[in-house]
A = this chain, B = another copy of it.
């Protein structure tokens, strides 16, 4: 008869695991000898090898218990299920390999392809990586907050990028990041921005709900808040835009 250590050696299962299986009721407790040691026989070896095989295949211990006293018919059904689960797992791991590969390669992982394209275009325009990152974070925020508006925002942005004047303003705005908030060029830039906004954008876009406006405001504040000169520029541009839309109004009321 075998002691627990011998059984462990023969089957390649650890002593601790065998006791664990006893505790879980997976493997029947064998008879003890006079000194209280467990004594195993051939049937225990067979049973333990079955358990080990299933456990190594990733079957949870609870399931193994059911399977051990299952009829061959249910057993083979269950085996098919387990096999399906393994196949699924393999598919997932393959997916993960792909994702890990993308992780080394930038934003492709976080954003839909059209937005990645837009970011690429900004880079081609000579926009600094810093500003591209700010734009990227803003998009991520948008996608999280109002995914249903993304197609519209994307097409608006694409349209704007087709306009040479917008591109000129964007590149200049990128450079303005480091300017002093009192720099006189900011007023010029703000004027150009306001003019472009007034000429290109209809006053109301379709689908603008309070929630989407809030999202837009959040996005703008995220962008604008990253540089003091941008903050100043935004103020100036907003004032200018109000003046353009409503010429009656006194120019400096807050």
Residues of A within 8 A of B (CB): 1-2, 6-7, 9-11, 41-43, 45-46, 49-50, 53-54, 56-58, 72, 75-76, 79-80, 82-83, 86-87, 89-90, 92-94, 96-97, 99-101, 103-104, 109-110, 136-138, 140-141, 143-145, 218-219, 222
Query: Can you list 21 A-B contacts with CB-CB less than 8 angstroms, sorted by A residue number?
Result: A2-B141, A2-B145, A6-B145, A10-B145, A41-B141, A41-B218, A41-B222, A42-B222, A45-B110, A45-B140, A45-B144, A50-B110, A53-B100, A53-B103, A57-B93, A57-B103, A58-B96, A82-B100, A86-B93, A86-B96, A90-B94
- Bound-complex Cα distance A109 to B57 (A): 13
- Bound-complex Cα distance A115 to B6 (A): 21
Assess whether A42 is in contact with B103, with CB atoms less than 8 Å apart. no
Partner of A143, one of B10, B79, B109: B10
- Bound-complex Cα distance A49 to B110 (A): 7
> Nearest CB to that of A137 among chain B residues?
B42
A25 smallest CB distance to B (angstroms): 20
CB neighbours (8 Å) of A82 from chain B are 100
Assess whether A104 is in contact with B86, with CB atoms less than 8 Å apart. no
- Bound-complex Cα distance A122 to B80 (A): 29
CB neighbours (8 Å) of A90 from chain B are 90, 93-94
Assess whether B75 is in contact with A104, with CB atoms less than 8 Å apart. yes
CB neighbours (8 Å) of A99 from chain B are 53, 56-57
A135 smallest CB distance to B (angstroms): 10
- Bound-complex Cα distance A103 to B143 (A): 48
CB neighbours (8 Å) of A92 from chain B are 56
CB neighbours (8 Å) of A218 from chain B are 1, 41-42
- Bound-complex Cα distance A143 to B45 (A): 10
Assess whether B137 is in contact with A41, with CB atoms less than 8 Å apart. yes
Assess whether A6 is in contact with B45, with CB atoms less than 8 Å apart. no
A101 smallest CB distance to B (angstroms): 7
Assess whether A43 is in contact with B137, with CB atoms less than 8 Å apart. yes
- Bound-complex Cα distance A54 to B57 (A): 24
> Nearest CB to that of A222 among chain B residues?
B42
